[in-house]
Structure 1
Amino acid sequence: MIRDIVFSPILPLPVLAVLAGVAVVLLAFAAFRGLSGWPFRTLAALLILGWLTGPSLQEEERDPLSDIVLLVVDESASQDLSDRPAQLSEAVEALTARVAALPNTELRVVPLTDAPDDRGTLLMTALSEAMADEPRGRLAGAILLSDGQLHDLEVSPDFPAPVHLLLTGAPEDWDRRLVVENAPAFAILDEEVTLRLRVEDQGDVPRDIGSTTPLLVSIDGGEAQEFTIPVGRTMEVPVTLPHGGMNVIQFTLPEAEDELTTRNNSAMVRINGVRDRLRVLLVSGEPHNGERTWRNLLKSDASVDLVHFTILRPPQKQDGVPVTELSLIAFPTRELFMEKVDDFDLIIFDRYKLRGILPASYLENIAQYVENGGAVLFAAGPDFATADSLYRSPLARVIPTAPTGRVIEQGFRPRLTDLGARHPVTEGLGGLHGPEDTPSWGRWFRQIDLDPQAGEVVMSGVDDRPLLVLDRVGEGRVAVLGSDHAWLWTRGLDGGGPQLELLRRLAHWMMKEPELEEEALTATAEGQTMTITRRSLTEGARSVTIEAPDGTETTVPMEEITPGRFVAEYQGAELGLYRLREGDQEAVIVLGPAAPREFEETIATGEKLASYVRGTEGGVLALSGGVPNLRTVPEGRNAAGRGWIGITPREAYVTQSTRLTPLLPGWVWLLALAALSVFAWLREGRR
């Protein structure tokens, strides 16, 4: 039971103040005149003013409330390093027991894990949310178990009691990390791009650690190149992209002795390789409708530089026109086919036949160009089946099909072969395959009969004879299209067909774009969910092995969603670099950065929170020296010292009932007032 005197004035306070002022003036005048009863009159005036204030006795029945201590436990990824998990477990157990030993005190344990979207450790956010769940008047203190590396200091709450930071880790901890200072999103193929890297050492770095370190650089998980770079200084590393499309470049530092973690020893950069210009040489044997279609298709792409070589006047043509009047300058044939041929990304022979215009040495040079990594597309016409065929030249050794000498003149609809339905050049183009399917493409009316010697037949024509054959020759690639009627698709005959898309895919496949490789393992990520795609020309069940950043491996079965395309989804448990393996194919993918924000700084420190903790009268102590004792301290006093931390008891309560009674009965007030008045009158009367 708590008793207290409360006031409920009968008159407003300004009125009471005026009455008190008037009483003071009158009493002062009475005292000045020497009236002997002025003390009694003063007591009477005070009694009247006291009654007007309405004094009452308030009696409350209160139930005391316990004090609350918040214990925020940082369980982010960086807290799994070294012996920090054991430190956390020991500290939580000890503090739980010590809070339980305090009278009328409760402990609230608040676990904190990694924030989504690689936002790091949101320690202050966790403290604020825990505060919001408890009455502010009961909060006696907060204890943060963390390495002090937080990423939301700007939202630190106004805590009404001491806040303490107990640091995990050890004084001798040290770590090395790799930082990529610049990473362009795009780079030109075959042109060197320079990346700036820096290696940083943090913590208590051993004296015997060298001033340089090896650096391994690999692209798309391939063979790594080794560089030596200095520690603590920016280093420029030149990189040349090997292919168009997305290139994943991984930089890795070897593990140093006794360093805290290797999670920040890797960095991943994604650079999209683009070609400055696609250089194409179109060699036409004679003018025809298909020639114009080829030219229009190539010229419609602004990224294509086209050189068109057409033979308009073969040696056997006799029209009486002097050679000097046929052109203003001589065509640079030797320069084009001997000296500059390696400058082209793709060469197309469109209905070309041997006429003595290009010597055998020129064609031999083109064959070597293919074997050294070039790309040639043969669009065959009727002359391909004659003695003047390019197959009768040095190019024969790179052509995967031999002409039988037969030219089929009849209408037919091109269709995909079973292999073509799986091949990335032709899959999904719309041409049906299989004997029971009706082809959906427009008709062609001429096909050169071909006998495949090598390569892969992806399209067929009359009686399932080979129509489009793809082959790899040496380092290069070759395609043979056994008809000169592809231009009918552009004209829209019988609904036409995907000539533009087919040519685009052919060109990109020949230039070894990764997205059109027959055997490939790729992955994309959205959040922490990765979609893994395996493309293959062979059949059979498949499963992918996934190696997580911590080294654990998981095998996930893949589902064939379309012919030759297998897909699996996997939810990554943590951010970082994942390695994928299926058969002889390997790939890498990063969920978030290769080194998550949580591992950018791993050395325990109290510097970031020191100012905030001091502002609450709290302290920063290291758990490596043991779990500190727990005391109670008065509000406003320093709440931390050597080996101890303190909380401030709040003495909060909840009122169960309240009773108000007058301080004195009314008759007592009246009797006292009358007595004082009589005493004053008698005193003055006797005088």
Structure 2
Amino acid sequence: MGSWIDAVSTLLFKYPPRAFARGDLVVAPVVPILVLLVVALVLVAIVVATHASLRTLRGRDRALLATLRVLVILLVIGCLLRPGLVIASAVPQRNVFAVLYDDSRSMRIHDVDGAAASSGTNAAATRLDAMQGVFSDTSALMRTLGEKFALRRFRFSAAAAPMRSSSEVLAGGTRSDLTQALVDVREDLNGMPLAGVVVVSDGADNGNGALDDALLALRARRVPVYTVGVGRERFERDIAIERVDAPRRTLAGASSVVEIDVRLRGTGKDPVTVTVEADGRVVATESVRPPARGDLATLQVRVPPLDPGVHRLAVRARPLASEIVTENNEWQTSMAVRAGPDRVLYLEGEPRPEFAFLRRAVANDSALMVVGLMRSAERKFLRLGVQDSLELLGGFPTTREELYQYRAIILGSIEASFFTPEQLRMLADFVSVRGGGLMVLGGRASLSEGGYAGTPIADVLPLTLTRGEVNAEGPAIPVMIRPTRAGESHSALQLGTSLAASRTRWDSLPALTMVNRLGTLRAGATQLLAGRTDDGRSDVPILAFQRYGRGMSAVLGVQDTWLWRMDTSIPVEDLTHHTLWRQIVRWIVEDAPAPFEIIASPTRVAPGEPVLLRAQVNTPLYADVNDAGVTATITGPDGAAQSVALEWSLRDDGSYSARFTPADTGRYTIEATAQRPGAGRDSVQVTQATVLVDDRGADVAQAELRSALLRRISDETGGKYYPLRDAARLADDAVYTDAGVTVREAKDLWDMPAVLLLLALLLGAEWGYRRWRGLA
């Protein structure tokens, strides 16, 4: 359809639509415009006056004939204005034109009509064959482009690489990174007169770069990107693992929740089996049915506790008998399990059951150690779970070094005036600088009632605070608590073996009470639990959290979760309270960083694809270190080791990076060491990471043609998107560009065939009407 419309438009208006889109309309009248306007007005007046005097004609005939003749006059005057189109076009053979070929494994999919492929058969061809049929070195399109530009060919998967011939494209890459490909081409051709870029791809993109930045850089140079889509936009029968949300790291001794999005098409009503494997062993199985609306189903799968170490997780869905693509039925990732124990400081300002029941709930979790500090009298504290007799001897920590040894802090019913101003600033820095987790519980001396409004803590919390007094006598308000939509799928709030079982358990829990005036949710915060009170309030933010700096803060606005253990409706053997608090405490400590960490990106590659190692080095007080020596020892699946030195990044304090390229499939273990110069052996820090190397092709998870992404790339850079069958129009459109070496030409529009046709239609209509009415 698009090709037919463009052909007709070019026939009628002399030039293709793209020329009008990029050009500027101008006029160059044969005589001054004022003279033409006067002549036009005089002629129009004569026509109107002449027809008004013809009393023998009916009014409708006079009006219609006068209108047709006026339009003819205006059309002729318009031609005398000599309208033109000023457009910049590339000077032949003076500009570079880059052609990017998708070299990823998704191009091996058989879903293109054979007629579009180089084979010329009618059987379904691979996307690679179809692409080569149109963009091979000897194709008509490439010969035409070669006559107008100096062509530079690139192939891309994880990155772009120059090549001499299109025959070098073998579709062997396991990732597609469109952002990196555009950046690489722009940098490689920097300084050359680049007139345009064409990307021939199926739109699969699983890179980590910022596409907006890459497009902005090209737009700044006025370089248009033309995109050509290859493949089928929709498979009628297909099962695909679209997304897997698994914790990147977790604590040993507890199960983890993996959220999976599965796309189901053409499966009928039959359930589809989804399995989760850890290191090749099936650890969980779940059945999923097609949703009532749409084709995307979401399920939560509980993975049992795994041993400490890094585990390879694989999510698989059983394929259909006639699927075009089966590679997207699998998703692999890795999860690091930390042995612990992680230390948490729980501070209470008064003896209350919540303190004892919370500590008792997590007492049997070997990966957690809750250190209790309860004020029993003025300047007297009960210390529980301390490592030695000196820990917390003077009460709450007074130095950052002492405070930062904990991964999370829980504040009970303790007023803000208990802390010194410096301790309040330390608590805020504990979240933003150290990256720890802070949870504030409801109580008569906490939150607004505890005087925290206006303190450094107020900005950290996910709920707004107002100034108030300690609620010493006010009544406790009963509140029924239920998870929000975000809370239903949150790993910390799973109370059953499945999402439905967890929802049922939440619905059966008795009411708790609150004594605080809970504020509104801050922008960027997430509400996980909502409460309904007897006075009709149905959306009280009971549990909410937000990211703040490097860390996370949360508010649990009730004072007696212990009722979920001791209420008369709760059986003695019920462990809901224990389970909930173990999961909540694990949640607030899991993402707290160590002073030295290293991350491999991406965590799954193919042999021969580069891996970026990025390390963050801090002191024990989490100050950035810019002069450390950082080395990574990389051990491959065959046991061979290599050392890579990481260089300090000039853009980010405390950040170091390097690249390495794995050669074989399997698991690569990375052990990184950092040492500050002149600080002795005490400054040595060690951390680990892993990389999975296989050749299955992560980009095949996005197997369908993503035309929307390709259209966005072309639209935002001033280019154009073409289906592969219409790619031949690219040769004509690419000439009209503002980039590179160009010449501006003025092209006449007054002699367009459309003008002559319109003039003939007007004159013919006028004569035909007179003939029909017997006036000729």
TM-score between the two structures when normalised by the length of structure 1: 0.35
TM-score between the two structures when normalised by the length of structure 2: 0.31
Looking at CA atoms only, which structure, 1 or 2, has the larger radius of gyration? 1
